[in-house]
Every structure is written in structure tokens, then in C-alpha cells.
Structure 1
Amino acid sequence: MSDTTPPVPPVPPVPAQPAADAAREPASVPYDAATHPDDTGVPTVRGADAADIGRGFFTALFDLSFRTFITRRLASVFYLIGLIAIAIGFIVYFVQGIIGGIAALWYNPGAGISLLVATIIIVPIVTFLAVVVLRFLIEAVVALIAIAENTERTAANTRR
């Protein structure tokens, strides 16, 4: 017959209360990265060669298994392109609304004034909301990618 009792965990070297008190006290020695290496498991880019980063990008771009994500690297580019597109749309609709409102003043003053007021109020509001929605969407995608990367890293470091 085998013994079915679960194993007993070892006793910690320091009781809980003194360990908690010691953790609350400020460290007497300042933090030194050379003596306390980063063991969080998050890869760092410090000291990485720019060519390695570019090579990683193109490798990820043509990775047919989709194991490497490029979205986080391109999020700022997508945001900038989106902001430019929204700015162009703002200029086009604002100028078109102002010109249309001025043109409408000649044959229907009420409609012209309404169009001018609506253009001056609605176009900036819609533009602002478009920027907010663009930012939300890009942040949501980046957060999903970060969750996927962290989950993959956690799964790789989990012992079975």
C-alpha cells in the first residue's frame, strides 16, 4: 500500500510577522542592477542591436504560424495614420460645410445659417469622438496582444 498523505511543505526560515516587518522597512542599501538582476521573465531590449530588432520585425511579419505579434510595434504608426486620416476628414467636411453654408445663404438664409452653425458645432465634436474611438480601438488591440504574450510567457514558464 502506498502512503496517500499529501507532502508537508517546508517551514519558512523566518516567521511571517518578522518577515513582514522587515519588508516594510526601507532598504539600507540602494538598488543596484548589477547585483540584483532583472528576474521578472520579461525580455529587455537594452543593449539590443537595431539590426536585430528590424530582423525580428520582418521575421514576425512573414511568420505564417502567427506566433509573433507585430501589432504592438506598429500601434503608434497606426495611430498616427488614423490621426492624419481624421484630420483630413475634418478639414474636408469643415471647409465643405462652410462653403455650402455660405452658398446656401444666397437662396435660403435660414438653411445657410443652420448649415454654418451645424458645421461649426458638429464637425469638431464628431472629429473628437473619432479620435477617442481610434485611441480606444488601438489600446484594446494592444491590450489583447499584451495579454496573449503574457499568457504565452506564463505558460512557457509554468512547471507541469
Structure 2
Amino acid sequence: MSEPISTPPPLPPRPAADVARETSDARTAHRDGYDPATDPDDTGVPNGLAGEPSDVGRGFFRALFDLSFRTFITRRLASVFYLVGLIAIGIGFVVYLVGGLVQGVAALWFNLGAGISLIVATLVLVPVITLLAIIALRFVIEGVVALIAIAENTERTAENTRR
């Protein structure tokens, strides 16, 4: 077994805030509303909260009809998609639960064992499948949002590395 290294890694020659200040030009700072000198976390990533609140809708519709697909709207709409998906899953839950119970009660008249089995299966399987559907919906939406975030961060990195 090797001994742990006790010396810390070397520090960069200059802080990230200094490098960001030097490499940012006026067009990027004006366009993104980002000024490295006022960045509280020194990561160089704009927080996206700059601008007037009334610009939010205009930016959304501008991005919606952007034929070059340089602006992503998926991150803005992720919560809406999730809410619509949850409503659809909830409606499916109610429909299958009520339908299974009604069919189970109806089957009781012809075959007692089949009716009880259908009622128990409905009460067990419908909630489990509903939970799995909610988890799958969340995974898909998180995956898409993560891919969009990676694309946006990669684009910012490429813009900052151009000379």
C-alpha cells in the first residue's frame, strides 16, 4: 500500500476572476449581461438573472421561433412538461384504479376467486406502476435538461476559449 501524498496540488498562477476579466470583451459582457468583476462565485458562468422581468416573455418567444436552434427552451419548459406528465399519469391512475375495481366487483358475481384476485391486483399493481411511471418521467426530463445544460456550458466554454 502506498502512502498518501501530503503536499497539496499547485495553485494556478492567477485567480479565475482575473483571467475572466482579461478574456471577456465588451460584446460578450453586453450580450449576456455578465460582468466577471461582479460575479460573486468566481466561476465565470453567468447566472442568467440579469435584465428586466418584462424581457422574459420576449426572450422565450424569440427562442421559440429561432430557426437556427441556438437558443434552448427545454430548460424553461421542463417544469411545464413535468406538470403535464404528472397530470396525465394521475388521470391514468384514477381511470385504471376505478376501472379495475369495477371489473373486479363485476367479476365477483361470476367467479369469486377471480373477482378478489382482480381487486387485489388492481390495488397493488396500479399504484406501483404509477410510481414507476412518475420515476421514469422524472428521469427522462432530468436527462434532457442535463443534456441541454451540457450543451449550453460547452458553448460558453468554446466562446471563452476563442481568441
Q: Pick from 138, 149, 153: which aligns with 1:146?
A: 149
After superposition, give the CA deviation of every residue in 1:115-148 in whole Å (9 maximum; x if it has no partner): 0010000000000000000000000000000000
- TM-score, normalised to structure 2, is 0.74
Aligned to 2:54: 51
1:37 maps to what in 2? 38
TM-score scaled by length of structure 1: 0.75
- Deviation, structure 1 residue 73: 0.3
**Offset, 1:37:** 1.9
What does 1:83-98 align with in structure 2 at a 5 Å threshold? 83-98=86-101
Structure 2: which 5+ runs fail to align? Answer: 1-6, 12-36
Partner of 2:115: 112
Is 1:66 paired with 2:39?
no
In the TM superposition, residue 40 of structure 1 has moved relative to its aligned partner by: 3.1
CA RMSD of aligned residues (A): 1.9
Residue segments in structure 1 that go unaligned for 5+ positions in a row: 1-15, 21-35
Larger Rg: 1
Q: Which AA in structure 2 matches 1:136?
A: F
**Match of residue 130 from structure 2:** 127
Superposition deviation, residue 47 in structure 1 = 4.9
User: Which of residues 136, 151, 161 is equivalent to 1:158?
Assistant: 161
Aligned residues: 129
> How many Å separate the matches in 2 of 1:103 and 1:114?
12
